[in-house]
Homo-oligomer: A and B are copies of this chain.
């Protein structure tokens, strides 16, 4: 007996998100619109599938975890998201599509962004023969000062 999912999106953002999905060739379904709203309406975000699922539930959106995974993978496939491998065993998805550096606090789990200044010709020069560079992922792992050595 929950309200229709569309009512959870503001009339301002709904048409924009709908258009954005259509441009990628993805159908603007209710679940995709709701997840897109959570992802793209609040600045740059780094989320795990589990975390996004939790946010959706909290927002009253009915969506299964499998659909969250499928949606994140589709969004990545069409270039709406980047996947970040900062911690093996768990995937994070990043709404910041520009080349940048991830600062990962190994103790708190926080993930910050920092700008990356890398001339395109340098990136291309790194690719071995007969390959082209697709992206560069930089992760700087930090700890609180004076913390112990081991994870």
- Chain B residues with Cβ below 8 Å from A130 are 144-145
CA distance A29 to B54 in the complex (A): 45
Nearest opposing residue in chain B for A127, CB measure? B142
Chain B: minimal CB distance from A106 (Å): 7
CA distance A127 to B109 in the complex (A): 14
A47: Cβ under 8 A from any B Cβ: no
Contact status A133-B126, CB under 8 Å: no
Identical subunits present: 2
Interface of A is mostly: strand
A101 with B85: in contact, given A141-B133, A143-B132 (CB under 8 Å)?
no
Interface residues of A toward B: which range? 35 or more
Please, what's the 1-or-0 string for A99-131, where 1 marks a CB less than 8 Å from any CB in chain B? 001010110000010100000000100111011
Contact status B139-A136, CB under 8 Å: yes
Chain B: minimal CB distance from A140 (Å): 5
CA distance A89 to B132 in the complex (A): 24
Contact status A138-B138, CB under 8 Å: yes
A94: Cβ under 8 A from any B Cβ: no
Please, what's the 1-or-0 string for A2-22, where 1 marks a CB less than 8 Å from any CB in chain B? 000000000000000000000
- Chain B residues with Cβ below 8 Å from A106 are 134
